[in-house]
């Protein structure tokens, strides 16, 4: 997933903490093996290799992530879309070469992008990708899912007071002993630093500040608008608090694509969600 994963836990003894954390890290590693798009032998890439063919049975984890991604694609009008893979590949190419993809290159990939081309069958737990050459990219949702699952693994080993973090994504369980919640600070436009006290939820921040490619003085973000290609314009940051980190991770990415107003509107429609969107270079 390209980031370090950190765990903070409270447990009755160090032995309990060690064992629980080992199990949680093992679970995260298992999910990375399944969902990475850098490893040609991951479950995800094996699924993509069968694009254009018949439905493919997938694991529960992969099915869960893809159905949540599908659902958000529908609700966000395609702003969040895990079929964005071929565009993301062009972005990685641009980052390497320092040159923008040509119109022909865009046209070639745009035919392969679109959540309507990904068919999920919940009864059979299969996934069918309609066009050969389609490529799924779970970079905007899988970290959140892995953190949620890390908390589940900790809980199974008797540890409920925990925080898991990976880059801009955080999942928290029960509060530290004697506290109301975990303290997390977010920047809010105009109001400055704001303290949140949270438990049993996900908190994710997405934005254009850390990963971008600059070509001819223009910054292009690693968060892509699947409907029109590389995204540029005013860099923004979105922080989302949601009932779990799978939801906060994917919604934060969607909010960056949609921008302040539409992002806010999308998040307002989801129960138990708060969103803070701000321009990236002002406090
Ligand atoms: P980060 O990876 O910096 O934590 P995000 O959670 O916002 O940030 O995820 C960005 C990643 O999501 C990109 O690197 C890419 O893999 C993927 N992605 C980019 N654009 C989209 C999109 N419109 N919908 C879904 N996933 C996307
Ligand atoms: Mg995200």
Q: What is the pLDDT of residue 189?
A: 65
Which one, of 263, 259, 208, 223, lies nearest residue 240 by Cα? Answer: 263
H or E stretch covering 144:
helix 142-156
Measured by CA distance, the residue closest to atom 15 of ligand 1 is 139
What separation in Å is there between the alpha carbon of 249 and the centre of ligand 2? Answer: 4
79 band by pLDDT with thresholds 50, 70 and 90: very high
- Joined together, the tokens standing for residue 156 give 């199974």
Q: Over 90: is that where the pLDDT of 46 sits?
A: yes
24 band by pLDDT with thresholds 50, 70 and 90: very high
Predicted model pTM: 0.95
Q: What is the pLDDT of residue 53?
A: 98
Which one, of 187, 163, 112, 134, lies nearest residue 7 by Cα? Answer: 163
- Quote the mean pLDDT of the chain: 92
Strand partners, 238: 206, 277
- Joined together, the tokens standing for residue 168 give 């801009």
Structure confidence by residue, pLDDT tens digits, 207-244: 877 677 777 777 778 888 888 766 666 778 899 999 99
Q: How many residues in the chain?
A: 283
Structure confidence by residue, pLDDT tens digits, 159-212: 999 999 999 999 999 999 999 999 999 876 667 788 999 999 999 999 877 677
Q: Ligand 1, from 3, 36, 134, 137: best to mutate by most atoms within 8 Å of Cβ? A: 137
SS3 of 13-39 = CHHHHHHHHHHHHHHHHHHHHHHCCCC
Which one, of 226, 251, 225, lies nearest residue 239 by Cα? Answer: 251
Spatial CB neighbours of 73, under 8 Å, sequence gap ≥ 6: 80, 81, 82, 83, 115
Do 267 and 231 meet the contact criterion of CB atoms below 8 Å apart?
A: no
| 8-state DSSP, 12 | S
pLDDT above 70 coverage of the chain, percent:
95
What separation in Å is there between the alpha carbon of 136 and the centre of ligand 2? Answer: 15
Residue with more model confidence, 7 or 233: 7
C-beta 128 within 6 A of ligand 1: no
C-beta 58 within 6 A of ligand 1: no
| Widest CA span in the chain | 60
Measured by CA distance, the residue closest to atom 1 of ligand 1 is 206
| 8-state DSSP, 182 | E
Residue with more model confidence, 263 or 210: 263
């Amino acid at each position: 997933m390209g980031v370090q994963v950190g765990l903070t836990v409270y447990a009755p003894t160090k032995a309990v903490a060690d064992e629980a954390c080992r199990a949680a890290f093992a679970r995260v590693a298992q999910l990375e093996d399944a969902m990475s798009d850098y490893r040609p032998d991951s479950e995800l890439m094996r699924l993509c290799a069968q694009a254009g063919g018949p439905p493919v049975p997938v694991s529960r984890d992969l099915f869960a992530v893809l159905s949540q991604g599908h659902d958000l694609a529908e609700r966000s009008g395609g702003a969040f879309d895990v079929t964005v893979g071929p565009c993301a590949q062009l972005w990685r190419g641009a980052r390497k070469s320092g040159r923008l993809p040509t119109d022909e290159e865009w046209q070639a990939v745009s035919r392969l992008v679109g959540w309507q081309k990904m068919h999920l069958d919940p009864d059979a737990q299969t996934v069918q990708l309609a066009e050969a050459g389609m490529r799924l990219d779970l970079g905007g949702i899988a970290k959140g899912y892995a953190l949620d699952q890390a908390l589940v693994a900790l809980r199974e080993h008797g540890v409920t007071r925990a925080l898991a973090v990976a880059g801009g994504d955080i999942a928290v369980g029960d509060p530290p002993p004697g506290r109301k919640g975990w303290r997390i600070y977010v920047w809010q436009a105009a109001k400055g630093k704001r303290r949140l006290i949270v438990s049993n939820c996900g908190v994710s921040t997405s934005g254009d500040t850390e990963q971008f490619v600059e070509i001819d003085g223009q910054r292009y973000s690693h968060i892509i608008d699947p409907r029109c290609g590389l995204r540029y314009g005013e860099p923004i940051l979105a922080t989302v608090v949601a009932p779990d980190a799978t939801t906060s991770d994917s919604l934060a990415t969607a909010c960056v694509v949609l921008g302040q107003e539409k992002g806010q509107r999308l998040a307002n429609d989801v129960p138990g969600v708060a969103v803070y969107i701000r321009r990236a270079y002002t406090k």
